[in-house]
Amino acid sequence: MILMLLAVFTTACQKDYDLEPTQKPSAKPELKVSGASMTADTAQTLPNTYIVYVWSGLPLSASSYAYTWDLGNGTSSTLPNPQVKYSVGLYHVTSTATPIAGGTAYTDDIWVRAGTIVLGDAANILISAYASGNSWVYELGMNTSYIANYAFMSGNTRFVSGSFTSWDPQPANTVQVINGIEYMKYTVTVPNSDALNKRFWGYGRESTWAWAPNDQLWISTDDGGYFGAYFYYGQILPYIGEVSGIPGDIGDLQVADTVPTVRMEILYGSSDPDSLRVFINHVAYANGPQPFISRKTSINTWENEPLIMSSDYLGWSYFTYAIGEVTDLLQFKFGPHLLSTNLFGVMNNSMYYSEVEGLLAVQILGIENRKYFSIKAASLSQQIN
């Protein structure tokens, strides 16, 4: 059934260009961008920051060609190396280099993504979720900056199409600005009995579909791509049951179907200070575009840090604290998005969770004049004092 749906969606959900964006061989003349980072054929840059386009690998000198550029933002150029800056959004740039004396002309295209967050793309976010009877209701937010030339479109032409709409495009014209980013909103209701079935969807405006190859939910196809995720008991997860191993030496254990929340290990250093690495099962308990950890300081303020995705343990991320920095007590929370530090993940499955304080608390015990350390859950009196 899913394969049939994928076939339908692959045919219907195409970007408005003909060629699949792929990594192009360096031997072939191609477009490159100075001042931006490249991922496949997508250049990522900060908004309102100049970048410069160049042709690389042309067989003749640069002055031997005439150039045409469609810069994707409604402007064009005939310069060899046009300089341009973009507002937040996604832009499709095309150029042709034609030999002045005659010969083979070269045409290439590139995508430019300008945004305040250019790494850890998040085309979709979960705005809210709540249980309703034997189902969960999800309010999905879809980032409009992934729709090429979105700012030049008008009218109520925003849409979403996917397995939860029977692949029929449905209006998604309600928008909400969250942390300076505009999101299209759409509500999805998923019965609990259907939580293990993966959903697929795309969204766009007018005839243009969102394009987000770096998003954790993106699924590439021969003619474009779409998003896929599990809507699982109040969370949106890229996968379920694919976590490989459990990190750390100590911490929560799996009990029946409840997977661990927090794991830890002590890192002893000869030149670097001894440190405590805290692993968070963000996929299960704080799934989002930029998971973070928030530490309570000795002066009762909170320090927020982005979690680092583990390359060894799928679904886990971590942050490392110098033990001298956290002294004998580490109190912390975690959440799905660093830009929403008042929204926290599910913590009450952990052995370190304090219901009274509403946080996780770990006591670090020094042994043999702090030559070694052990870890245990902090008592309530230690948390309050």
120-237 shares the fold of 30-114 = yes
Residue 127, pLDDT above cutoff 60: yes
Q: What span, in angstroms and rounded, lies between the C-alpha atoms of 69 and 59?
A: 19
Reading phi first (left if > 0) and then psi (alpha if -120 to 50, else beta), residue 23 is in beta
Report the pLDDT value the prediction gives residue 7, as an integer from 0 to 100: 40
Q: Find the range with the poorest average confidence among 169-173, 235-239, 253-257, 380-384.
A: 380-384
Report the pLDDT value the prediction gives residue 159, as an integer from 0 to 100: 96
Domain 120-237 in CATH 2.60.40: yes
Share of the chain above pLDDT 90, in %: 33
Q: Can you spell out the DSSP letters for 119-167? A: SS--SEEEEEEEEETTEEEEEEEEEGGGSBTGGG--SS-EEEEEGGGTT
- Whose tokens are 């002066």? That residue is 299
Domain positions in the chain: 30-114, 120-237, 250-384
**Contact in structure between 237 and 314 (CB atoms under 8 Å):** no
Mean pLDDT, residues 218-223: 78
- Whose tokens are 């909400």? That residue is 176
Report the pLDDT value the prediction gives residue 9, as an integer from 0 to 100: 36
Q: What is the dihedral of CA 145, 146, 151, 154, to 10 degrees?
A: -120
Which CATH entry fits the domain spanning 250-384: 3.40.50.300, 2.20.28.160, 2.60.40.10, 3.50.50.60? Answer: 2.60.40.10
Report the pLDDT value the prediction gives residue 112, as an integer from 0 to 100: 85
Q: Find the range with the poorest average confidence among 219-223, 276-280, 372-376.
A: 219-223
Q: Supply the Cα-derived Rg of the chain in whole angstroms.
A: 25
Lateral strand order in the sheet of 275-280 = 250-251, 262-267, 275-280, 317-322, 308-309
In CATH, the number for domain 30-114 is 2.60.40.10
Question: In a 3-state reduction of DSSP, which class is residue 62?
Answer: helix
Q: Look up residue 94 and give its two tokens.
A: 């095309």
What's the CA angle centered on 247, arms 274 and 344, to 5 degrees?
Answer: 90
Q: What span, in angstroms and rounded, lies between the C-alpha atoms of 225 and 228?
A: 10
User: For residue 251, which of 334, 374, 330, 351 has the smallest C-alpha distance?
Assistant: 351
Going by DSSP bridges, is the β-strand pair 208-209/199-205 parallel, antiparallel, or unpaired? antiparallel
Q: What are 12-29's pLDDT values in tens digits?
A: 333 333 333 333 333 478
What does the H/E/C string look like for 292-355?
A: EEEEECCCCCEEEEECEECCCCCCCEEEEEEHHHHCCEEEEEEECECCCCCCCCCCCCCCCEEC
**Contact in structure between 252 and 376 (CB atoms under 8 Å):** no
Residue 163 — φ and ψ, nearest 5°? Answer: -65, -25
Q: Look up residue 205 and give its two tokens.
A: 């405006």
